[in-house]
Structure 1
Amino acid sequence: MAIKKTELYSSLWASCDELRGGMDASQYKDYVLTMLFMKYVSDKYKGDPYGMITIPTGASFDDMVALKNHKAIGDEINKIIAALAEENKLKGVIDVADFNDEDKLGKDKEKVDRLTKLVGIFQGLDLSDNRAEGDDLLGDAYEYLMRHFATESGKSKGQFYTPSEVSQILAKVVGIEHDTPQDATVYDPTCGSGSLLLKASNEAPRGLSIYGQEMDNATSALGRMNMILHNNITAKIVQGNTLSSPEWKDAPNKLKTFDFAVANPPFSNKNWTSGLDPKSDLYKRFAWGVPPEKNGDYTFLLHIITSLKSTGKGAVILPHGVLFRGNAEANIRQNLIQQGYIKGIIGLPANLFYGTGIPACIIVIDKEHAQKSALSDDGKMKGRSIFMIDASKGFIKDGNKNRLRSQDIHKVVDVFNKGLEVERFSRLISIEEIAKNDYNLNIPRYIDSSEPEDLHDLSAHLQGGIPNRDIDALENFWQVFPNIRATLFTENKGQAAREGYSHALIEASKVKNTILAHPEFKDFASRSLLPFKAWVHDAALSDIALGDKPKELIQRISEQLLSRYTHSELLSKYDIYQILMDYWADTLQDDVYVLTQDGWQAGNTVRELVVAKGEKLKETPDFTINKQKYKAELIPPNLIIARYFASEQAAINQLQAQQDAATQALDNYLEEHTSSGSGSTEEGLLADALNDKDKITKASVAARLKLTTNADEITALKQVTKLFNADAACKKAVKGATEKLDLKVLNHYPTLSLDDVKSLIVQDKWLATLQANIIAEIERVTQQMANRVKELEERYSAPLPTLTQSVDDLSGKVADHLKAMGLEWTV
């Protein structure tokens, strides 16, 4: 049975628990990722004479398993890793972590137990047959761990990983096309663990030739392992200081040039001149100016521009300060703009990155289309421009960080690659306009992304009525619901009529229900589901077959859904897209991975959950029969019950209602007779039946009956005994009926036909969930209108004369009350 992604992830993360305590995340990541690597290459290449990795005798993961509980387990694991590293020229890559380090892993038995458990966790994973063609299950798991390690590593140690969502944007805007050849090169001078390079390579149909350099030795080792786990064994990742000792050169004083470059350099590096004299730089990287000595942001940008071919393209993440800081950086910025190298700028939300909370931007470089002659004869730059996007508002909170959603990524990429100008989001800025701003590229100078101010109408507050301009501002809704507007508002008429103002026809509290009940809304809701129903036909989810590529599937069906909702009324196609992508991450992805590796017959599968002694159950069982726990692989039991055993479930529901009533009766009786009432110190008839834990149980009642001679107490004890018995009988009936139904459901799985399985999974599970979420989105959009209408009605419901009269009336009542109490005064 194929491993589901989420199950693999949870198992890997559990391995981290075995190491926590002696070290922080920036340290224990090396142990966990090394163990993952050893398990993967052993499962994949053991016994394969033609494998890309050679597994020498005595150097496989099986040999680690044989060391469990061995007193020298740490030292022996080091030897196994060293042998594999030696055989495959991976010294300094997979042998960085010391598995015999007592300071980190503990001494003697503590270390033996910790490493034994760690090996045991990976031992339970079969990684040999769990790679759907074209999908990097292990590579994705590696990235999952990197994200979690970065999250936990703290402010100063999380910079080895660029958030996947940001990496995706860089990869998609850098200029890689569907026909980019495999021998095209991509370069990252500060590659960290390699996530940016991999994302860029994945944009080409057959990948790219990867080059990277990383200063930190341990991080560069992670990068090499990451490449192998992503099946990019030929990728060239080296360790070293890119600025002072660049690895990739065509000649001693000439940098190698690449087709593409992506990078997330360390922000505001204060030591960039270490080992480097920029004024005598061999590679002439500072022809456009020398960055400040204590701030190296532009250093990496200049290095990348120099490292690109004349037709090269790049995308670099830098702090927002590079867009507007003055002095030396202003001169560099002006020179680069005049050279025409900057194609676009994308402003990102704050607090996205590990290690810093400051906002950043993506600078997109295009040397191919840079104007050869930067200035015309009159010294002006005509017809040239820079495309800007302010994407700072699109994100969700994720713990203590912000995170881009799938829809945020897609919108940025769509808008940038198509050059779409969107109000308060994107603009094509002429160089003339930029020059007038002294080459300051600060995005707010060119794009106002702030929400329009909600101005109060003082005349309406004084004289009543709702300003028509506020109602007209909802025009996008009124185009869809013209009659709902007439239902909610009417122009002021009569003697008090005032031009430009209306009044409400519906109480504020009834606005939402009025809208939802209106025929126009119902018609809109029905129309809004038509694109979804058309997409169901497009997606053809029932046609998923063995060997299909899950990532290609979600790419296809998500784009189809986007296309179907492109021209929908009121609904944002990106919000609908997000519904699918969230469900993919939560459920659909796991299901598809199983189907592409095991086929639809996996829908008939129910696994018996077996737990080793002393271990905890890692999965939540779907049902339990005779104390044995079971997990359905793809079809939850509730779907089987709803389709085939609805009457049995209805009977259980009735029994459950009876149980609830019996439990409530028991609780009420106990509460009534344990004490004489709320706040009372008197004891009730059942007070003496409390056990040593201050609880009344059937046993404590029976024990008290044997001791008491009080007639009233005996009556109360006998009554509560009856209630205990009735409650127990109801619980027994529910449990018995539930177990019988569970057995029927368990026995029904093998009888499901292929058509039954497909219908249950596709129709009852996937599509039903997606449709329900889209319906919720339809209501959410109309809720926005309802909330605004309610807000306007409440804002102007009581004009000043009404408030004044109300105050006078209340003041009079207070004065009358005071007078009646003999308290009267004059002002």
Structure 2
Amino acid sequence: MALALKKSDLYSSLWKSCDELRGGMDASQYKDYILTLLFVKYVSDKAKTDPSSLIDVPTGGSFEDMLAAKGDKEIGDRFNKIIAKLAEANGLRNVIDLADFNDEEKLGKGKEMQDRLSKLVTIFNDLDFRGSRAEGDDLLGDAYEYLMRHFATESGKSKGQFYTPAEVSRILAKVVGIGPNTRQDQTVYDPACGSGSLLLKAAAEAPRGMTIYGQEKDNATWALSKMNMILHGNEIAEIEKGDTITNPQFTKGDHLRTFDYVVMNPPFSVKSWNNGLENDYNRFEYGRPPEKNGDYAFLLHALTSLKSTGKAAIILPHGVLFRGGAEGTIRTRLLEQGFVKGVIGLPANLFYGTGIPACIVILDKKNAQARTGVFMIDASKGFTKDGNKNRLRSQDLHKIVDTFNKKIEIERYSRMVPMSEIADPKNDYNLNIPRYIDSSEPEDLQDLYAHLHGGIPNADLDALSDYWDAFPQLRNQLFKPNRPGYSDMTFDVGNVQQTILDSPEFRAFVDEAKALTGDCYMAHRDTLAAINAETRPNDLTAIIGDDILAKFKPVPLLDEYDVYEQLMSYWHDTMHDDVFLVMNEGWLDVAGHEVLATGASVR
């Protein structure tokens, strides 16, 4: 039996296919070819094992037909005809057939096109999606996200707007209130849905999915979204085409249709947002956005699209929090109505379309009149560098969501800001986060007397109180009195580290951390041993991760989210592939393959 397809191998094959197309076009163009082939291969594989599939793969319209065209001088034309048959059979004309596989300018002439497309279809033939699961952690979904992320990175500033980073999408889904109790018939809507990844991440937070609605202006990106929905098992999602502000598709007469949840990452500060606007659909009840900036047009569209208990999470530039004029008037009225539930400041340079920092504005109509404050988070410093972009780590995502949903107040990070403080004349309904949360590091004060006369200021040692609380005897071991207010080290500075490592208190601290790690492993050993085809990997990591956070929270000096990140790094690098193999092959078969691969013996 062949090993199941691993995520890492899948990624390698997909990017190899991208290499075949480089040279004749940029990433914004070759993504159409790669994603079309991915789509055809996926639906062809699924049709073999899923008789209830909503996608009909007709004779002459399958991936096998494309494979049969390998080496043919007319391979490009044959590909186009095969894809056209599949599109025609499923009402997907102008969705999956946008890429021209017979374009000599992009794919080369004659033998060059023949070889390029033959190599491409061979790479995809090695991928087997028959076992792919549309349950929030399926390989196909991971592959699609992987490609979209790389396409956005390579496409440059002007063409990366169709993709919202997966980590940010998950934050929006979780802070907007979608979770274990969300029903399948509840609705989620994205008025500027791009490739649809944000909608899918939101719906994936509900145990049985949700009813999905979206609209996208750009034709090619709309087609991506339609394909993405099908690839993730959401064939019945309603994704409409057109400009959401000037031509909204989800309407009832002169009013907008309303939804339970709205999530959105609209284009920032659009200057032409009202070109051709004839009907405002009662969206501007609280004020009309300025002519040259459409940020509040999208925000007000989201608000008007909510049911009476609906909630929205929208990514916007920080300017919406403090700009005056018409925007200041709208912001004041929304705050007075109690619609603004929270604001989360994100790190700069997260998004592919812009390097400026953005924020998440959370709106909530439920019990709005009773709202007495706005919960704010300054998460601008929690990220890691990833090439020329910044990226949220798993720990950053989890901390933001925990802090917001549990309304945890953390010094220099989060607080519930009373409406009375926001409305105070000195703030005048300005929501700029630094007004309310000082996230700057304390100033490093220099003691000139110590520099001149020696000694370590006791005030500097007192500032390390977290360490002395954890190791009460250590301070006296390391320092001795010099004169009032100052201390000296008891031995050479080069011996400090070893003295700490050898101290009984530090050894006890290490033993406690090891014991907690062992306890966590033992607590989940049976769950890991029981991994099978029905296991949901996302649920598995959530259970283990939450247990680690709870166990390490009381431990001094260790940030429980740093410990959690160790688990998630191991998960992404190694454990995900291992779990996927066990799910598909079983523990014994996987162990047997490992024995064959390494030449080891089993006892």
Paired position in structure 1 for 2:583: 596
1-side partners of 2:164 and 2:367: how far apart? 28
* SS of structure 1 residue aligned to 2:158: coil
Instruction: Report the AA paired with residue 401 of structure 1.
Output: K
Query: Residues 753-810 of structure 1: CA distance to partner in whole angstroms, max 9, x if unpaired?
Result: 5xxxxxxxxxxxxxxxxxxxxxxxxxxxxxxxxxxxxxxxxxxxxxxxxxxxxxxxxx
2:398 is equivalent to residue 410 of structure 1: yes
**How do 1:460-499 and structure 2 match up within 5 A?**
460-492=450-482, 497=483, 499=484
* SS of structure 2 residue aligned to 1:490: strand
Q: Does structure 1 retain, via aligned residues, the 8 Å contact 2:134–2:233?
A: no
Q: Does structure 1 retain, via aligned residues, the 8 Å contact 2:474–2:500?
A: yes
* SS of structure 1 residue aligned to 2:313: strand
Instruction: Report the AA paired with residue 274 of structure 1.
Output: N
1-side partners of 2:144 and 2:449: how far apart? 62
Instruction: Report the AA paired with residue 421 of structure 2.
Output: E
Paired position in structure 1 for 2:351: 353
* TM value normalised by structure 2: 0.97
Offset at residue 111 of structure 1 (A)? 1.1
Instruction: Report the AA paired with residue 186 of structure 2.
Output: A
2-side partners of 1:194 and 1:537: how far apart? 40
Of the three residues 434, 442, 450, the one matched with 1:444 is: 434
Distance 1:13 1:562, change over 3 A: same
1-side partners of 2:411 and 2:558: how far apart? 17
Distance 1:28 1:242, change over 3 A: same
Paired position in structure 2 for 1:552: 539
Of the three residues 71, 80, 83, the one matched with 1:81 is: 83
Instruction: Report the AA paired with residue 362 of structure 1.
Output: I
Paired position in structure 1 for 2:140: 138
Q: Does structure 2 retain, via aligned residues, the 8 Å contact 1:183–1:208?
A: yes
Paired position in structure 2 for 1:314: 312
Distance 1:472 1:2, change over 3 A: same
Paired position in structure 2 for 1:291: 289
Paired position in structure 2 for 1:398: 386
1-side partners of 2:142 and 2:290: how far apart? 39
Instruction: Report the AA paired with residue 248 of structure 2.
Output: P
Of the three residues 106, 110, 114, the one matched with 2:116 is: 114
Paired position in structure 1 for 2:131: 129
Paired position in structure 1 for 2:529: 542
Query: Residues 183-204 of structure 1: CA distance to partner in whole angstroms, max 9, x if unpaired?
Result: 1000000000111111111111
2-side partners of 1:600 and 1:132: how far apart? 23
1-side partners of 2:556 and 2:353: how far apart? 42
Q: Does structure 2 retain, via aligned residues, the 8 Å contact 1:349–1:360?
A: yes
Distance 1:274 1:133, change over 3 A: closer
Query: Residues 247-296 of structure 1: CA distance to partner in whole angstroms, max 9, x if unpaired?
Result: 11122x1110000000000011111012115xxx3401111111121111
Offset at residue 49 of structure 1 (A)? 5.0
Of the three residues 495, 504, 509, the one matched with 2:494 is: 509
Instruction: Report the AA paired with residue 472 of structure 1.
Output: D
Q: Does structure 1 retain, via aligned residues, the 8 Å contact 2:186–2:210?
A: yes
Instruction: Report the AA paired with residue 438 of structure 1.
Output: D
1-side partners of 2:468 and 2:238: how far apart? 59
2-side partners of 1:546 and 1:194: how far apart? 27
1-side partners of 2:247 and 2:304: how far apart? 15
Query: Residues 425-469 of structure 1: CA distance to partner in whole angstroms, max 9, x if unpaired?
Result: 001111111112011110000000011111110111122211111
2-side partners of 1:50 and 1:406: how far apart? 36
| Structure 2: runs of 5+ lacking an equivalent | none
Instruction: Report the AA paired with residue 321 of structure 1.
Output: G
* SS of structure 2 residue aligned to 1:389: strand
* SS of structure 2 residue aligned to 1:510: helix
Q: Does structure 1 retain, via aligned residues, the 8 Å contact 2:480–2:489?
A: yes
Offset at residue 39 of structure 1 (A)? 0.3
Q: Does structure 2 retain, via aligned residues, the 8 Å contact 1:45–1:52?
A: no
Paired position in structure 2 for 1:61: 63
Query: Residues 345-377 of structure 1: CA distance to partner in whole angstroms, max 9, x if unpaired?
Result: 0000000000100000000000112107xxxxx
2-side partners of 1:307 and 1:314: how far apart? 9
2-side partners of 1:324 and 1:392: how far apart? 17
Instruction: Report the AA paired with residue 149 of structure 1.
Output: F
1-side partners of 2:385 and 2:49: how far apart? 47
Offset at residue 542 of structure 1 (A)? 2.8
Distance 1:133 1:259, change over 3 A: closer
Of the three residues 569, 574, 578, the one matched with 2:561 is: 574
Paired position in structure 2 for 1:258: 259
Distance 1:128 1:477, change over 3 A: same
Q: Which has the larger radius of gyration?
A: 1
* SS of structure 2 residue aligned to 1:371: helix
2:502 is equivalent to residue 500 of structure 1: no
Q: Does structure 2 retain, via aligned residues, the 8 Å contact 1:46–1:60?
A: no
1-side partners of 2:183 and 2:461: how far apart? 55
Q: Does structure 2 retain, via aligned residues, the 8 Å contact 1:47–1:55?
A: no
Q: Does structure 1 retain, via aligned residues, the 8 Å contact 2:136–2:204?
A: no
1-side partners of 2:443 and 2:246: how far apart? 51
2:203 is equivalent to residue 201 of structure 1: yes
**How do 1:736-751 and structure 2 match up within 5 A?**
746=599, 748-749=600-601
Instruction: Report the AA paired with residue 246 of structure 2.
Output: S
Distance 1:569 1:48, change over 3 A: closer
1-side partners of 2:399 and 2:210: how far apart? 25
Offset at residue 176 of structure 1 (A)? 1.7
Paired position in structure 2 for 1:368: 366
Paired position in structure 2 for 1:386: 374
2-side partners of 1:183 and 1:261: how far apart? 15
1-side partners of 2:53 and 2:177: how far apart? 34
Query: Residues 148-177 of structure 1: CA distance to partner in whole angstroms, max 9, x if unpaired?
Result: 111111010000000001001000000124
Offset at residue 133 of structure 1 (A)? 6.3
1-side partners of 2:431 and 2:134: how far apart? 45
| Structure 1: runs of 5+ lacking an equivalent | 373-382, 607-631, 638-745, 754-827
More deviation, 407-416/177-186: 177-186
Instruction: Report the AA paired with residue 392 of structure 1.
Output: S
Offset at residue 129 of structure 1 (A)? 2.3
2-side partners of 1:419 and 1:502: how far apart? 41
Paired position in structure 2 for 1:147: 149
1-side partners of 2:135 and 2:428: how far apart? 52
Q: Does structure 2 retain, via aligned residues, the 8 Å contact 1:191–1:212?
A: yes
Instruction: Report the AA paired with residue 73 of structure 2.
Output: K
Offset at residue 523 of structure 1 (A)? 1.3
Offset at residue 134 of structure 1 (A)? 6.0
Q: Does structure 2 retain, via aligned residues, the 8 Å contact 1:157–1:355?
A: yes
Paired position in structure 2 for 1:522: 507
Paired position in structure 2 for 1:564: 551
Find runs of 4+ consecutive structure 1 residues off by over 6 angstroms. Answer: none
* TM value normalised by structure 1: 0.71
* SS of structure 2 residue aligned to 1:262: strand
Q: Does structure 2 retain, via aligned residues, the 8 Å contact 1:132–1:596?
A: no
More deviation, 233-242/133-142: 133-142
Q: Does structure 2 retain, via aligned residues, the 8 Å contact 1:257–1:308?
A: yes
* SS of structure 1 residue aligned to 2:368: coil
2:440 is equivalent to residue 420 of structure 1: no
1-side partners of 2:53 and 2:473: how far apart? 70
* SS of structure 2 residue aligned to 1:427: strand
**How do 1:569-718 and structure 2 match up within 5 A?**
569-606=556-593, 632=594, 637=598
* SS of structure 2 residue aligned to 1:18: helix
Distance 1:456 1:53, change over 3 A: same
1-side partners of 2:395 and 2:51: how far apart? 45
